[in-house]
Structure 1
Amino acid sequence: MDTTVDRSVEPLGLRRTLKLRHLILYGIIIIQPTAPMSIYGVVSNAARGHVVTTILIAMVAMLFTAVSYGRMARVYPSAGSAYTYVGKEIHPLAGYVVGWSMLMDYMLNPIICAIWCSAAAQNIIPQIPYAAWAVAFVLVFTGLNLRGVQTSSRVNALLALGMSIVVVVFIAYAIRYIALVARPVGGQWLLPFYDPATFAPGLLFHGASIAVLTYIGFDGISTMSEEVENPRRNILLATVITCFAIGVLSAIEVYLAQLAWPARIPFPASMVDTAYVQVALRVGGKFLFQLLNATLLIANMGSGIAAQFGAARLLYGMGRTDALPKRFFGVLNEKTRIPRNNVLLLGAVTLAGTFLLTFEKGAELLNFGAFIAFIGVNAAALIHYKFRSQEKVVFAALSPLCGLAVCTFIWLNLNLDAKLLGAAWVGVGLLLYFVMKGNKPLAAVEWSDPTNSA
């Protein structure tokens, strides 16, 4: 009797080869070691300094939320998305609101990246006006996505390594400058944490609502659930450790920057968007200025291209499941297999956004959607592990409740304009939802995961 197993008929699946260290590295690559540098000036102005404190407050919110993401990844190991967690645990309509809010994030990310890149490029060649740079970067983002050009994981790892080296170089120059030139004494060492001359609680939490942008992307770790050894343990640990590591590194970066350029010396309006590279100019001269400017320019270009591609896939997934008009959003180009309509639409939206929004307004509006997702995931984790699951976990209610409370509080401290525009976006989404739903039952309208919308 032949007992040979025919391997050719076994179902294909993803190999579980990733270890905890691989997940942490992946998370750091997604978030980037230079994460707080692009928003440094905006946060400094919003919080009147105190950037270190805002980074740490945001880290607390993200750590609780990271625990909730990790726990929900146990329940839905193949989905890895906030709208899946919320839609399944709370209500399909709530999941739709989360997904629609995340779509706003995907659309805003390339806008703020294009704004920052245009300002950074002007640092290199100031003779070319902002408008020309904005058009050029949007064309690059859109053109590369139309061709389906995406960086490989190996290239991303090399870029992250390069960024890490530049961060180390900056830290060395900053320490040298602080020791030899700035020479803070006594209480001056603590001013980045608390400056009584400029401290205001409302401004501090407003700054924290922007500083959360430092951590955006950590939830991407949950999408690796099918390729990880022991995902029930490692997804949670990797998400928490990544947030903590990025928080500590970011706090060091902005602490040194604030010592080198105290908050009581405000950045001129023309320098706010690229304030961190102005600090680099002070501590390391033209060499460090150009090095850091080029590094952040490359990093933001990569983020903008990837974000636009992700938004195009998300729109395609929504179109494919009739959450948006399928004839426009749910089609692929026959030759390139790219959702060309979506890429072109997003290119037009990105171009308009670079002229209609400032970097600060775009960042706050992006965080409006992000916090809706974070609040939703914490609520889903609370409902599942406190009321539905038989699995016993530590602090089943306390941890998500803390995450829910902190995230809600920070969300409420967003700029009023961001909250009004965000609410209008959600209102449009709800109107579209009910128009598209027609006579189908509420649960019939699904939200497709962009990571699975190939």
Structure 2
Amino acid sequence: MRSPFPGPSGLRIKSPDLLVAESGADLEGNGLKRSMGLFQLVCFGIGAIVGTGIFVGLSDTVAEAGPAVLVSFVLAAVTCVFTAFSFAELGGAIPVSGSSYSYAYATLGERTAFLVGWCLLLEYGISVSAVAVGWGQYLNELLGSMTGWQLPAALSNPPGDGGIVNIPAVVVMLLAALLLVRGIRESARATAAMAVLKLAILVLFCAIGFSAFRAGHLTPFAPQSIAGITSGASVAFFSYIGFDAITTAGEEVKNPRRNIPLAILICLGVVTALYCLVALAAIGALSSDQVAGRPAALSLIVNKVTHSTLGGGVIAFGAVVAIASVVLAVMYGQTRILMSMSRDGLIPRIFERISPRTATPVAGTWIVAVLFAVPAAVVPLDVVMNLTTIGTLAVMAVVNVCVLVLRRTRPDLPRRFRVPLFPASPLLGIAFCGYLIYGTGLATWLQFAGFLVVGALVYACYGRRRSRLVQSPDVVRPPDGGDPAGAVATAPAMAAREG
């Protein structure tokens, strides 16, 4: 029988078979239910991606790159494409809720997996705070166009932009949590409806923007040269964060080995094409100087083109819905990752508790909502976005490494999708992630390094000692009583390997 802990001595590696067996065992009891089809999964992915990054972050990307924002979006998309291939292969091979955390556990060991999960607090937890921050800007734009009244800037803007406490950001997070605890079927339906609506709104924006297109607005094309394009790509990357949330639904998707890879590739293709069209329409309708750094930029552009606040109000409504759907989808992903880490004993057990009535992690969802509402309310948006970007890029680099390792250690593992041009594709994914990390700047590097140090200390002091991979002397088998290769773990064997 194959060892459940392949790899270098001293690494606590949980085999893919054991991960899948545990998730299957959980589904036999009061666990998660497979209720999401391909359409719902694609809508969930689009719901997780399209939001603050394009509705709010576009103006920041233009400020860095000028009209070359198109190149920045393409560069960020290329980075995502290579990593999306890796996510697609791993999501089909290991269809569990832990996403990149679980993939790292199966290939690089427990310590690396914990740090990946720690970084996912940035990609999902902190990013949901950043997404929520942008909600108040468009909510005010919508209120202004409909009623002529707006919330006070002190209570609706992020700190550093005239705000003190961002109340709308807190409200949208609590509303998302309320919907999530009602059940995945209700959440998936709401996400699907919101995804269709915001795609329609962005297509409408493109139609309006191209009606006022001026080719002269594209010159000079790259006022900040390559440095501006690189910096802009790092900012634009935030617009793509969330496509990997599809893999966090691994235990709630019908036919996950087929639908997860397919949904990832469909989502990324649709979103990339849409972003490039929106960026081109925006800078074609107004000059980059007029767009750069402006809050609620898409509404501003429509108002200028139509000479009316009505069109801008429609765009603002779409943005309010879009950003709310991202909060919903990303918060969902965070709770499922924490559930997987809790199931492994690396964080407190409260995060793995599933309500038998709604089949959702109710306590974990409310904890996430309350905990990350704090940075949404009081942290400046640029700080939150930069940390989210570098944390996500680091996780994506690890996911590409996981594909390389798993191909070597488990070539027999069933894969419905295989990375094309292997090993060039994951290697290019790692290189592009490193290139965009370089573009985030020294201050963000130092903040991220400090964040990793804290994570390493938390693992050493809490996670390592409470890991169930070491503590449990019981044999872990799949529900049908079978014994897949690698699905056996005992404390004595583990202790011997740890030496």
Residues 438, 311 of structure 1: alpha-carbon distance in 2 compared, 3 angstrom cutoff: closer
Give the TM-score of the pair, scaled to structure 1.
0.80
Match of 1:240 among 265, 279, 302: 265
Measured on the aligned residues, the alpha-carbon RMSD in Å equals 3.5
Residues 345, 59 of structure 1: alpha-carbon distance in 2 compared, 3 angstrom cutoff: closer
Residue of structure 2 equivalent to 1:400? 426
Unaligned runs of 5+ in 1: 1-10, 447-454
Match of 2:221 among 195, 217, 222: 195
For 1:384-395, list aligned pairs within 5 A: 384-386=406-408, 388-389=410-411, 394-395=420-421
Structure 2 CA distance, aligned partners of 1:399 and 1:276? Answer: 35
**Is 1:70 aligned to 2:96, yes or no?**
no
Residue of structure 2 equivalent to 1:5? none
Residue 85 of structure 1 deviates from its aligned partner by: 1.0
Residue 396 of structure 1 deviates from its aligned partner by: 2.0
Residue of structure 2 equivalent to 1:296? 319
Structure 1 CA distance, aligned partners of 2:227 and 2:249? Answer: 38
The residue type equivalent to 1:98 in the other structure is: V
Which moves more between the two structures, 169-178 or 375-384? 169-178
Residue of structure 1 equivalent to 2:137? 119
Which moves more between the two structures, 199-208 or 317-326? 317-326
**Is 1:367 aligned to 2:404, yes or no?**
no
Residues 110, 71 of structure 1: alpha-carbon distance in 2 compared, 3 angstrom cutoff: closer
Residue of structure 2 equivalent to 1:100? 118
The residue type equivalent to 1:397 in the other structure is: P
Structure 2 CA distance, aligned partners of 1:338 and 1:228? Answer: 20
The residue type equivalent to 2:318 in the other structure is: T
Residue of structure 1 equivalent to 2:277? 252
Structure 2 CA distance, aligned partners of 1:301 and 1:172? Answer: 24
Structure 2 CA distance, aligned partners of 1:393 and 1:176? Answer: 40
The residue type equivalent to 2:138 in the other structure is: A
Partner SS state of residue 95, structure 2:
coil
Match of 2:403 among 381, 395, 398: 381
Residue of structure 2 equivalent to 1:47? 65
Residue 102 of structure 1 deviates from its aligned partner by: 0.3
Superposed CA offset, 1:65-101 (max 9, x none):
1111111123313356111111211222111111110
Structure 2 CA distance, aligned partners of 1:128 and 1:276? Answer: 20
Q: What is the percent sequence identity of the aligned residues?
A: 22
Match of 1:425 among 445, 451, 466: 451
Residue of structure 2 equivalent to 1:413? 439
**Is 1:87 aligned to 2:87, yes or no?**
no
Residues 86, 159 of structure 1: alpha-carbon distance in 2 compared, 3 angstrom cutoff: same
Residues 381, 320 of structure 1: alpha-carbon distance in 2 compared, 3 angstrom cutoff: closer
**Is 1:219 aligned to 2:244, yes or no?**
yes
Q: Residues 331 and 368 of structure 2 are in contact (CA less than 8 Å); yes or no, is this contact kept in structure 1? A: no
Q: Residues 346 and 466 of structure 2 are in contact (CA less than 8 Å); yes or no, is this contact kept in structure 1? A: no
Q: Residues 45 and 246 of structure 2 are in contact (CA less than 8 Å); yes or no, is this contact kept in structure 1? A: yes
Residues 418, 324 of structure 1: alpha-carbon distance in 2 compared, 3 angstrom cutoff: same
Residue of structure 1 equivalent to 2:300? 278
Partner SS state of residue 324, structure 1:
coil
The residue type equivalent to 1:354 in the other structure is: A
Give the TM-score of the pair, scaled to structure 2.
0.73
Residue of structure 1 equivalent to 2:20? none
Residue of structure 1 equivalent to 2:78? 60
Residue 311 of structure 1 deviates from its aligned partner by: 3.6
Unaligned runs of 5+ in 2: 1-27, 157-165, 473-499
Residue of structure 2 equivalent to 1:171? 206
Structure 2 CA distance, aligned partners of 1:388 and 1:174? Answer: 50
Structure 2 CA distance, aligned partners of 1:341 and 1:393? Answer: 34
Residues 437, 82 of structure 1: alpha-carbon distance in 2 compared, 3 angstrom cutoff: closer
Structure 2 CA distance, aligned partners of 1:390 and 1:91? Answer: 20
Structure 1 CA distance, aligned partners of 2:266 and 2:357? Answer: 42
Q: Residues 64 and 224 of structure 2 are in contact (CA less than 8 Å); yes or no, is this contact kept in structure 1? A: no
Match of 2:187 among 152, 158, 162: 152
